[in-house]
A and B are shown apart, each in its own frame.
Chain A
Amino acid sequence: AQSVTQLGSHVSVSEGALVLLRCNYSSSVPPYLFWYVQYPNQGLQLLLKYTSAATLVKGINGFEAEFKKSETSFHLTKPSAHMSDAAEYFCAVSNLGQNFVFGPGTRLSVLP
Chain B
Amino acid sequence: EAQVTQNPRYLITVTGKKLTVTCSQNMNHEYMSWYRQDPGLGLRQIYYSMNVEVTDKGDVPEGYKVSRKEKRNFPLILESPSPNQTSLYFCASSLGPSGPESRYFGPGTRLLVL
Contacts and interface: CB of A to CB of B under 8 A. Distances in A.
A102 interface: yes
A42 B99 contact: no
Interface residues of A, number: 26
Contacts, number: 56
Given A43-B105, A43-B107, A99-B98, A105 B90 contact: no
A12 to B, nearest CB: 18
Interface string B85-108: 000001010100111101111111
Interface residues of B, number: 21
A34 B43 CA distance: 14
Interface of B: 4, 40-43, 45, 48, 90, 92, 94, 97-100, 102-108
Contacts of A102: 42-43
Given A43-B107, A43-B108, A96 B99 contact: yes
Given A43-B105, A44-B90, A100-B103, A95 B98 contact: yes
Contacts of A34: 102-103
A40 to B, nearest CB: 11
30 contacts: A9-B40, A32-B99, A32-B100, A36-B103, A36-B105, A41-B108, A43-B4, A43-B90, A43-B106, A43-B107, A43-B108, A44-B90, A44-B92, A44-B105, A46-B102, A46-B103, A49-B102, A51-B100, A90-B42, A92-B103, A94-B98, A94-B99, A94-B100, A96-B99, A98-B98, A99-B45, A100-B97, A100-B98, A104-B42, A105-B43
